[in-house]
Amino acid sequence: MDTQTLIYIFVGLSFALYIGIAIWSRAGSTKEFYVAGGGVNPVVNGMATAADWMSAASFISMAGLIAFLGYDASVYLMGWTGGYVLLALLLAPYLRKFGQFTVPDFIGTRYYSKAARVVAVICLIFISFTYIAGQMRGVGIVFSRFLDVPITLGVIIGMAIVFVYAVLGGMKGITYTQVAQYCVLIFAYMVPAFFLSFMITGNPIPQIGLGSTVNDGSGLYVLQKLNLVLTDLGFGQYTDGSKSMIDVFCITLALMVGTAGLPHVIVRFFTVPKASDARKSAGWALVFIALLYTTAPAVGAFARLNFIDTVNETSYSEAPGWFKNWERNDLIAFYDKNEDGVMQYRSGDSIIGAPSYAETTAAAGQRALNNEPDMTSENEVYVDRDIMVLANPEIGNLPGWVIALVAAGGLAAALSTAAGLLLVISSSVSHDLLKSTFKPNISEKGELRAARIAATAAIVVAGYLGIYPPGWVAQVVAFAFGLAAASLFPAIFMGIFSKSMNKEGAIAGMVTGLAFTFGYIFYFKLANPAANVAENWLFGVSPEGIGVVGMVLNFAVAIAVSKVTASPPMEIRKLVDSIRVPRGAGDAHAH
């Protein structure tokens, strides 16, 4: 059976499974739609959380970033996993004990203010749409390459699939669908990693293979070999970093705190029966996430070695099939600058205006390919970093069924996160804006209908952003994290751990953090990208890490404003005490 047929079978079967689960677990009440009825087993919830959290960025982009950035990409590994630990220990159990459906619910009730709730909804929708545009684009790219359809059609198919299980099933349908998607994506990620590790080092376990010697008789370790190969081609050493210590610290912390403030991850902890189960499901999720995250550095290193071996100094007329496949989708390109017909992969930009390493979605690559070759550089090969995980099985000449599995895994990763984000957007509109703010007398049936209409509208907007990605989608990968770190995280943190924080302080802090972070990233990424160099940054902190400064400003303004305004009412102080008290933490009932 040929590879293309296998891809159709694998993807078709995985989609049939997702839709079947959605129909089986159709939500019949708002509680099932928002939090899956609140009765999900911690192990099941841990697996669903892992799928929700490991988006297309984790599955497709992260190993590609590590492949091309080396040491500098460690901030993503440390920030995203560290953020999950922060979320699990600091926020999840307390929020579950509070017993509400959504993050704006918590902020609105804790800060006894409709204005605070609305500000939280605005932050949340902005974060979610920023994130979801990249997920839908990822879906379109996987479809485009593996199913030979235009990217636009790929995005529309993805929208239809998500529509069925997000709008019908709500959180109940999404939870069990995400369990299936986790199984697909982790299997799809690990199988090629086992193959490549065995081929390159003779050890099938990639985590151990990364620290082993290359089985080419040289006696060199994998990272030693990679350092030598890269320096020979004019690149910096793979194990050396170029970022300043302050920037590494701030980017890592922004990703950590941003992860802990991401609404689609937080809401997962409302789906378990009691607060103690929130801790258990967080622990299980960390185990499931660690499987992929401890494998990614090995996949990145193996991918870069394989790429150089199969592309550099190869005649274009004899280029491997995978190169021509991805070239058709504008995600890899050869510019014959010296007209010798041989591909020279060297340090430097192959194209004028090639995307920087911080730009991690394929939209950047496709935008760059409209530009002219950069004749000041010897590099003749342009490669979009997002293709490395998807192309790895083809580069390594692995069997067709492995390629088909990776296609299904890439789609599972993007669709699972897209569904979680869509649910957050729809519940914010129906529950937080309608039910809790503007239309408190709406019936449960009316609220459920509004949630489904909001989810449908969100899918249409997300699809539009996937088909026509704004030029800046690629540049704001860190924006969602910076925004969450600077706006929602301090309000949630102080809401749990400070009895004296009042509504005026929380609102002033959220608005300050949001405005500062947005303004800084807008200036350097959109208004004046030419100025985006270290000497122009505030305290030497890049736009990717500026969410930390926004967070500090949020805390400072919130505390200062709360000192000169009225204290919170006594019932709010008692509420904060009840959230934090360990006694009765296992109770299923809310405050």
Q: Tell me if 491 sits within 8 A of 476, measured CB to CB.
A: no
**Tokens coding 561:** 């404003």
Specify the pLDDT at position 360.
39
According to the model, what pLDDT value does residue 353 have? 57
The confidence score (pLDDT) of residue 368 equals 45
Question: Which runs of E-coded beta strand occur in 321-424?
Answer: 332-334, 342-343, 381-383
pLDDT at 534: 76
The three-state DSSP-derived secondary structure of 277-297 is HHHHHHHHHHHHHHHHHCCHH
Whether 462 contacts 418, CB under 8 Å: yes
Parallel/antiparallel/unpaired status of strands 342-343 and 314-315: antiparallel
* CA-based nearest residue to 418, from 144, 81, 176, 178: 178
443 Rama class: left (phi>0) / alpha (psi -120 to 50) / beta: beta
pLDDT digits (tens, 9 = 90+) for 188-242: 888 889 988 998 888 899 989 888 888 887 888 888 888 888 888 777 788 887 7
Which of helix, strand or coil describes residue 511? Answer: helix
* Amino acid 12: pLDDT: 85
| Residue 25 pLDDT grade (very low, low, confident, very high; cuts 50, 70, 90) | low
Does residue 297 register a pLDDT over 80? Answer: yes
If 0-12 CB within 10 Å is exposed, 13-18 middle and 19+ buried, where does residue 165 land?
buried
CATH class of this structure's domain 3-302+399-580: mainly alpha
* pLDDT for position 585: 44
187, 276 Cβ separation under 8 angstroms = no
User: Can you give the residue ranges of every domain in the chain?
Assistant: 3-302+399-580
Is the pLDDT confidence value at 168 over 80?
A: no
- pLDDT value at 32 more than 70: no
Predicted confidence at residue 365, as pLDDT, reads: 41
Residue 259 predicted with pLDDT over 80: no
pLDDT band at 577 (very low <50, low <70, confident <90, very high): confident
Mean pLDDT of the 308-330 span: 82
pTM score over 0.85: no
Q: Go through the chain and tell me how many residues it has.
A: 591
pLDDT of 508: 93
Say what the pLDDT of residue 474 is: 41
Q: What is the mean pLDDT of the chain?
A: 78
**Distance between CA atoms of residues 155 and 157, nearest Å:** 6
Highest mean pLDDT among 37-51, 176-190, 439-453: 176-190
Integer Cα distance of 466 and 165 in angstroms: 19
Measure Cα distances from 206 to 55, 189, 195, 401, 462 in Å: 21, 11, 9, 20, 36
Residue type, 576: V
Q: How confident is the model at residue 512 (pLDDT cuts 50, 70, 90)?
A: very high
Q: Kindly tell me if the per-residue pLDDT of 587 is higher than 70.
A: no
Alpha helices in 237-343 (DSSP H): 245-260, 263-266, 275-293, 296-311, 321-328
Indicate if the pLDDT at residue 478 is higher than 70. no
Distance CA 302, CA 52 (A): 27
What CA–CA distance (Å, rounded) separates 373 from 384?
Answer: 15
Residue 590 backbone dihedrals phi, psi, to 5 degrees: -80, -175
The pair of structure tokens assigned to 164 is 């069925």
**In sequence order, what are the residues at sequence separation of 6 or more whose Cβ sits closer than 8 angstroms to the Cβ of residue 408?**
10, 11, 14, 184, 188
> pLDDT tens digits for 420-461?
777 777 777 777 777 766 777 777 778 778 877 887 888 888
Q: In degrees, to the nearest 5, what angle opens at C-alpha 299 toward C-alphas 295 and 304? A: 155
pLDDT of residue 366: 44
267-275 mean pLDDT: 71
